[in-house]
Chains A and B, each alone.
Chain A
């Protein structure tokens, strides 16, 4: 019976590892999409992005980098048992995530104004929407996770579990930050 808490900690470790594995599989999905883009675009000279990437993508990049910082602050506060700060930074991160959503949406608007629609005979341009759309789904999932850890803190769940939730959430959030930078750089290189 004395063994059980050890097994509990083991299960936390194992479940945190699940997030790493999820990150790997999610990265594989984007790797497939981007290599699909390369295979497609290289196939014919008429294909390619052939449009200036909207400025909003730069704003998005700034927003998501700041959100990564606030995320880390939330994690540090949770570790130092400064819970009001943890809540504050979590809320800030959520807000930045929502701002990212709108920034990406405005980028789509700019793209459609430039004539680069989703339904397009040059599917290289459709790919921009697929990349950003799939990434936004991840942002949405990240916001749900942030809410989950925020609600947990509001309900005063035990510190081990609080720390576990915020750790896993921040892991995911940093991943989608880096993922966006990868996608943006990829698009810039193929512009």
Chain B
């Protein structure tokens, strides 16, 4: 009896929901564009918020680049814009310089490359590529965006408080961050930073829970795990990393808040500020580093893995070849996921860590080179002898591979505990992570934007502007970050305000001028992108349903967005997503929705590994057609 009751109410419940669905047809502006629960709209909200944050973070970086290049020159314009508090006499003040560096890092790592990247593409692609109507919980999904938006607003608000934004670096190490009196940025600005991060963590946790649950539970018929596109694998594993690491940051932040506002001594001990001895005793600042880097290191994989997933998809599509080593790609992502949790110590080699422990962290760190290299070689092997189509998305994908290689190589130097004594906290580190997780991840994100723009907005972006954008950004990024390696090897420390105080740093001033000019040109190149992006939303060429002749499921959905993604039934899936240029087929792509019975001429033995019956049918067909072919030959 119970079961019938359940069944009946299920139907009732469905009608209930259905009535609700109809409500969406007469959507108001608020339900459609603001408090939307539709995953496609939420993806666009994440993307545009991420782009705005990226522009702000980029402007911040240009400001501190100006200071680094011309520490003695005054720019009256800066005083006009920033006021005499931050740029007295047209020169950036030291306190503000530190704030610029801190907020640039925080915004780029968390708001742009975590929320802007995962938030956009996980939301857009997980339901569309898996064949689901929406996320597991559309409401939580909406909540996730609005928490992110709140975090962004709070972070921006810290620019408008008396004592300025947080200035302790994006890693906010105590005791500097824990003592409001230590520097002006550790006052209200730091409090706002912490509140903003709590909102952000909540947002990305909710998002990650939703992504995992959707991937594991809501795939369409036929979509088993090994038929999922690599994008989805990457998003899934990224979300798993997030679920396991972000709660650790919560713990760290909570303890820091107690130290700042309640007088506890988790991180504080033996401190003298301005000649005054503080009462706090017995704390351990290294504890913060352990907790922070247990998140912080996985965080860099949260940043790069979605970019790698997007690239896999775009490279395979535009090389018109199956991805090389699909299983190896998945296992290397899993390998990166597992390893990411046991390498955090390599950020702390010089904190007085036991050298034996340092050796352990060194080994685990260097092992990460293996899955990373597997991925790189697979990209190169996929491109090898493909029918390459250099769309802007493809160029950015290739750019990612380039940055991933050149930035990854220096990781091998930095992961070495002995070399790190010399290299830590120098510009070598700055160069390394900006290439391997900064530029590479940004290129992955831009690649995704160019590739899925038609899906998001129903229009195409301008290709020529895309090429200009790519080449200027690609060359600019290398010109900015490559010279920094040499500065770092020379021992120039990061985060220093001016290179004029130390004799050995002065000779690098000319290099700084060069880097700043490169940064300005690369920044101006982004105008081409911004124009292209926003102009095309309204006036771009109308997009066809499948502009890139791609196999994955999202291109079977109509161009016009509708709630539930597909009118009528959700399509079923019969094959993996990388059947490009399959010999014997009349087209160079076979979408996942095409059953093998419709492609008899191109089926291969291994398409039917677990299905002897289908194998027999195929053999029969082959025999028939082989004899026909023979007959044809003989007539000739």
Q: Which residues of A line the B interface, CB within 8 A?
A: 3-5, 7-11, 13-15, 17-18, 21-22, 24-26, 28-29, 31-33, 36, 39-40, 43-44, 46-47, 79-81, 118-123, 126, 130, 134, 158-161, 163
CA of A7 to CA of B284, assembled, Å:
52
A10 touches B284 (CB 8 A): no
Q: Which 5 A-B pairs have the closest CB atoms?
A: A14-B136, A158-B9, A29-B247, A14-B217, A32-B248
CA of A134 to CA of B286, assembled, Å:
23
B262 on the A face (CB < 8 A): yes
A118 CB contact (under 8 Å) in B5, B137, B244, B262: B262
A47 touches B212 (CB 8 A): no
B111 on the A face (CB < 8 A): no
CA of A20 to CA of B283, assembled, Å:
35
B211's nearest neighbour on chain A, judged by CB, is A21
Instruction: List residues 257-284 of chain B with CB under 8 A from any CB of chain A.
Output: 258, 262-266, 280-284
A10 touches B217 (CB 8 A): yes
CA of A53 to CA of B69, assembled, Å:
59
B9 touches A118 (CB 8 A): no
A24 touches B6 (CB 8 A): no
Q: A29-B251, A81-B2 are in contact. Are A5 and B10 (CB under 8 A)?
A: yes
Q: Which residues of the other chain, A, contact B481 by a CB distance below 8 angstroms?
A: none
A39 touches B217 (CB 8 A): no
Specify the main secondary structure of chain B where it touches its partner. Answer: helix
B290 on the A face (CB < 8 A): yes
B244 touches A36 (CB 8 A): no
Q: How far is the CB of A9 from chain B (nearest CB, A)?
A: 7
Tally the A-B contacts, defined by beta carbons under 8 Å.
137
Q: Which residues of the other chain, B, contact A32 by a CB distance below 8 angstroms?
A: 247-248, 250-252, 291, 294
- Of the four ranges (under 10, 10 to 19, 20 to 34, 35 or more), the interface on chain B belongs to 35 or more
B2 touches A119 (CB 8 A): no
A119 CB contact (under 8 Å) in B12, B133, B248, B262: B262
B17's nearest neighbour on chain A, judged by CB, is A8
B258 touches A14 (CB 8 A): no
Kindly name the residue among A26, A31, A43, A160 whose own CB sees the greatest number of chain B CB atoms within 10 A: A160
Chain A to chain B contacts (Cβ below 8 Å), 9 pairs: A14-B136, A14-B216, A17-B136, A17-B216, A40-B287, A120-B265, A122-B282, A159-B9, A161-B9
B382 on the A face (CB < 8 A): no
A21 touches B265 (CB 8 A): no
B5 touches A29 (CB 8 A): no
B291 touches A26 (CB 8 A): no
B250's nearest neighbour on chain A, judged by CB, is A29
B266 touches A126 (CB 8 A): yes
A7's nearest neighbour on chain B, judged by CB, is B133
Instruction: List residues 234-248 of chain B with CB under 8 A from any CB of chain A.
Output: 243-248
16 other contacts beyond A4-B17, A160-B9, with CB at 8 A cut-off?
A: A3-B570, A5-B10, A8-B14, A13-B217, A15-B137, A17-B136, A17-B212, A18-B137, A18-B213, A22-B209, A28-B248, A43-B287, A120-B265, A126-B258, A126-B266, A159-B6
